[in-house]
Copies of this chain bind each other. A is one copy, B any other.
């Protein structure tokens, strides 16, 4: 039987289950609804009274929902337009972390390049911002763009539908979907089934993300990225730090530590006593540098990122460990009960994690002594390189928890760079039936999922009680969630806007598992 795909079908199922009144009927209803219906019912759409705008182009739908605003060709333009109180749409060739300030303010994002796993797409989904990427007819000029024959100048209005991939010329009113009672009921029932068996956490970098995530029912933060804390106003600081040698950079680190501490305080405050896992810096070195820098890397995805940068410049992670511990202390002082963990990214080896762990622990212990802090942050690691997954039993000995970074793991298991493969090759794979899904959207059942299952088993044998979660994009995809539940993970963490889908999909996976 195909699953309920419309609000009407959902309403019927809910009514029948309520009439029946049994637990079994509620379970059946939870099992019978397409998770993407929940997603559709929690997104923005063009107002039903709005005019029909002309479609000027189509691209890859990358983040659902409708958006309308002034076309801006740069973060600066977004900032200036936003300051005038106008809605903005960021249009560019592709985005990098340096654009995130602009992306965060924009109503929607359109890029000429990239696929569903490009930076623009991933960030947009994370923030619930509608986005269309890979618009091949889009040519970007100095002060205008062309969608094929249609020229739109900076300052004119543009609209997009991130669900269909369509781009429109002109402005349309957008409505935010209200919370629909049937959806609320369905998700409450799903949570009832889920109970404490598997957690649904959010990937949330800021208090704004987390507020959205909590509204959608997240039980904490499975992944707080910290890259944005090194960008914007902080970028000159980190650039200066990377250009100086050890010893002469204390002032820079103090400045970074102070701002990060207050950023963390804001986030931890919103989280209350819910768990928050903070990932230490995982940006490729080159993202902080001028692209024309002579040290720019050939394959930055396989370069000086994450823990590798920390091995070269250990003060970075030490500074982050201090700022996190101080933020925790600040909250405790105010009577809070923060539950914070620190996560080391891109590890390949037990010894590597051991060394970094000892550095981080040193800072935590030292800081905790000064602030008289009792409950110290736990320290875990992301499992995102094949070597980490293959060495899980060893690495588990140095980790309080594991979190699978399924994006990078997929990237390395396949040898696919998301930015490059999704342009043309992925379409060919799907067209020829070599792959039944894009493995960046739906977890690869043949190799990546078994690797996660085997690593989870090995870790639990080596270190009973170790907590194992997933914080890649797949944590918000229903088919992937079914595989992850089967692999035995303790929680999934996903974009705030995918939380409702994840709540439903984990419950469905548990129902399916219990039947077998």
Binding site for B on A (CB under 8 A): 295, 297-304, 308, 311-312, 346, 348-349, 351-352, 355, 384-387, 390-391, 394, 408, 411-417, 419-421, 423-425, 428-429, 432-435, 444, 446-448, 450-451
Contact = CB atoms under 8 A, between A and B. Distances in A.
Contacts of A384: 415
- Copies of this protein chain in the complex: 2
A385 B417 CA distance: 13
Nearest to A444: B387
B415 A408 contact: yes
A403 to B, nearest CB: 16
Nearest to A355: B432
Contacts of A311: 425, 428-429, 432, 434
Contacts of A433: 351
A413 B432 contact: no
Contacts of A417: 297-299, 301-303
Contacts of A450: 390
21 contacts: A298-B300, A298-B301, A298-B420, A299-B299, A311-B425, A311-B434, A348-B414, A348-B415, A351-B433, A351-B434, A355-B432, A384-B415, A385-B413, A386-B413, A387-B413, A390-B413, A390-B447, A390-B450, A390-B451, A408-B415, A412-B413
In the complex, which of the residues A304, A311, A424, A434 has the most CB atoms of chain B within 10 Å of its own CB atom? A434
Given A298-B419, A300-B420, A302-B416, 4 more contacts: A297-B417, A312-B428, A352-B429, A352-B432
A412 to B, nearest CB: 5
A349 B300 contact: no
Nearest to A419: B298
Nearest to A296: B420
A439 to B, nearest CB: 9
Contact of A299 (B300, B308, B414): B300
A390 B387 CA distance: 13
Contacts of A416: 302, 348
A278 to B, nearest CB: 22
B387 A421 contact: no
Contacts of A446: 349, 387, 390-391, 394
Contact of A434 (B295, B355, B386, B444): B355
B434 A412 contact: no
Nearest to A416: B302
Contact of A414 (B300, B385, B420): B385
Given A446-B391, A450-B390, A299 B419 contact: yes
Contacts of A387: 413-415, 444, 446-448
A431 B428 CA distance: 44
Contacts of A411: 302
Contacts of A408: 415
A435 to B, nearest CB: 7
6 closest Cβ contacts across the A-B interface? Answer: A302-B417, A299-B417, A303-B420, A390-B447, A297-B420, A385-B415
A312 B424 contact: yes
Contacts of A423: 295
Contacts of A447: 386-387, 390-391
A194 to B, nearest CB: 31
A446 B391 CA distance: 7
Contacts of A390: 413, 446-447, 450-451
Given A414-B385, A417-B297, A446-B391, A434 B302 contact: no
A420 B302 contact: yes
B451 A299 contact: no
Nearest to A306: B415
A169 B390 CA distance: 48
A450 B394 CA distance: 14
Given A349-B435, A433-B351, A301 B302 contact: yes
A181 B391 CA distance: 46
A147 B299 CA distance: 28
B346 A415 contact: yes
A311 to B, nearest CB: 5
A301 to B, nearest CB: 5
A349 B434 contact: yes
A417 B308 CA distance: 12
Contact of A312 (B297, B303, B425, B434): B425
A304 B420 contact: yes
Contact of A412 (B300, B386, B419, B429): B386
B451 A302 contact: no
A190 to B, nearest CB: 33
